[in-house]
Chains A and B, each alone.
Chain A
Amino acid sequence: MLPQLVVSGLAQGVLYALVALSMTMVYRATTVVNFGHGDLVMGGAFVVYVLVVYAHLPYLLGGLLALTILFALGVGIHQGLMRRIMTGPHLAIAMMALAVGYGLRGGARVLWGREVLPFPRIFPDHAWMLGDVVVTSDNLIVSGTVLGLMAVLFVLFNVTRTGRLLQAVFQSQRGAALVGLNVDAVHRVMWGVGAALAALGGVLLAPITLLYPDMGVWVLVRGFAAMTLGGFGTLHGAVLGGLILGVVELVLGAYVSTAFIDISAYVVVIAVLLLRPDGLFGQQVVVRV
């Protein structure tokens, strides 16, 4: 039982890791926590739904288009909105992100109202047995894509020049600006990338779940929980936190109470911030007042 839970949990956790990673990247590059991130994931899911179901595009093409569209949206959000209030109070920034997400949700609701949309079957219906453990093709495709993406990102960050410039911006906005990096351009690109990665989460989620306009909330909370668990603001923490959260949800859900499938994320956020604010793998979180 336990190995199955772990495997399924990891397969689920991989998505949480992706969401957490994309939120962390935007946060590190721009110091903004995007409270609307879950709704961007929802946006990606709905866009690919429209492209596949209404425009009859193949899933892969639809997915790539969704990423591109959301990338543009992310850039637009930065250029049109976030840029203008970055120097203002944190509350305004948090609210702006929330409001944008809220608007996206409203847009989705205008189009689909109270409907819950099923996605056509895209991933093959295969399952493999590894000892006692069942691994479905859903699991493999989602995990494979995300892990592959992370490998690419890892290489980009540590090997390429752009990646190392990005690291500089992650470390210190001011420092990067002082050495002549165009921080505004980095912010623009990172908002786009963050949105595109969110879209990827939505694209991968779409075939394996039901779509509805409020699904962003579910995603957001789990993204936060993953970030907090792994160590808020660290990239490796986001990934590890996501994976662990996925497993924790299922394991606690099976052995303690099914309630934990729903509330693990909330409990994790509250408990971790109270007991060990740095998370499992993170650095200083407590604001030095």
Chain B
Amino acid sequence: MQRKLFIIVMLITLSLTACKKYLDVVPDNIATIDHAFNMRQQAEKFLFTCYSYLPRHSVLSGSANENPALGAGDELWFHNFYQPYSWNIARGFQNVVNPYNNFWQGTQGGKDLYQGISDCNIFLENIGRTPDIDQSERLRWIAEVKFLKAYYHYYLTRMYGPIPIKRVNLPINADPETVRVFRDPVDSCFNYVVQLLDEAIADLPDLITNEADELGRVTKPIALAIKAEVLVTAASPLFNGNPDYANFKDSRGVQLFNPVYDPEKWVKAKEACKEAIDACHAAGHKLYYYSQSVRQYNVPEVIRTQMNIRNAFNEKWNAEIVWGNTNSMVDNLQIQSTPRGLDPALRASRSTLGNCAVPLKIAALYYSKNGVPIEEDNSWNYGARFNLTQGTPENKYYIVNEYTTVRFNVDREPRYYANLGFDGGVWYGQGKFDADDTWYVSSKKGEPAANIANDSYNSTGIWPKKYVNYVNVIQSNTYSRENYPWPIIRLANLYLLYAEALNEVNGPSNEVYYYLDLIRQRAGLPGVVDAWTAYSTNPTKPSTKEGLREIIHRERAIELMFEGQRFWDLRRWKKAIDELNQPITGWDIDQVTPAGYYREKVLYQQTFGLKDYLWPIREVEIFANNNTVQNPGW
């Protein structure tokens, strides 16, 4: 009996063990996060994952990839048949329910930057245990990821102001109280970004030696340039002693903005700018000047100057590009910026769409040919700017000879003609390289570039030619394009930042003029002091700190037009409330005659309130985490 019992017990035990085994269906090699760091080849993918959160600066509309600086401000205008998410911000429809270009949560055209930061932290926590990676490479990768972590924090801070800093990741199963983090004061945010950048700078390479494989990855000059931009932003009025946010506190009573202006922030910014410029020069960066390709015809000086200006932005990896975003090529943006019907034989072709329109107020910012604002130029009749006139032989490389146009288009600086396309405007390139036989835009009703299809027209009659590389060729079914990495930072930007910081610290000086004039020279303009002295109704403007500040701001707007800078500049200067409350206007594009066409027509009355300086936080984030306070006014 006992033996039988023993056998039965044995059998039951055996079958129970078998049952346990029966349910073990998962083999050992199922991919888990541990596999991401067990060899260099996998860890490299994780490094690239950290890079993948870099915002797509060149993308105007897309599900998770928009640059609000292009569509949410006043540089570009669209229409109902082409609506980037960001355009809703420009039209005043930003909201807390489902904010547009939400980079906190990665919705409505925004990227999930907190997820990106979290991935950077995973990388930094784990890269130490990848065995087959040599120490110098490991240090470089760590530095790159620290840079990215800093950049994502900076991107969020610039949008939202104070944000919760994410130094390390919380455990997945952290209890709900722990994950309900507070926002950190804005000074801490900037300090943390700078601290990370400093840590990264030490181990980053001075320049990319393997250009075929690595151009676009972060180098020391890039990190120094971003540090300069960060410190200038932190020193600017929005973040430096802004009285509007004196009462902005969280639920613990912590003040999120420091209400006291600190001039020392400008000093730090100035030093960082200089350091960045020096590092760029040492790495071989210099302002771009066009060198003619053998294929092209004889190029007159006027066109050459235009090429100097246009190509400085859109010729890939030219010497002026400090940081080009290889993960954000300028492709669709070129289609959206080239007028449909630029080649009149292909007016029905849909290979170019021309949906990006430039408001008149943006075109008005460009200087006169004398290098001063048109409203200040004593030789430029500002009051008669909407009177009709004719293209002349002297201007034939700008405006088609004898083409009826408007005075607004005449006697402007070379950057006006290099960066904008307009009715009657000469358009060099795009397959026509003989300066005496070029395309030109004709966009009055019934003309090739006029509105015939709802989804491919330009609502103001002005196109941002700057985006369009001159070698692109329009064909009936396709648009052959030279796509180029989006220049996040080019040297001209650093010069202007430095000039701005110098002026804020010490006021006007020859050093300020020097850097401004380097840029004006490339643009074919006289120096600041000469130009104002000779042509301005306010000739002493460059000699005062305030006057020079205005000049620097205007120079920045013109030089960096459409580059995603003005949107943030207006905010940090606290000028958006003036500039973005102006009406958006364009030419009356639905007219046949020049007299009808060249009337300024209001398209939209933009409104900008105090609350709009900072992005709203999506309300569900606050519902999930009551410790995160909403930005003022939202």
Indicate, yes or no, whether A interacts with B: no
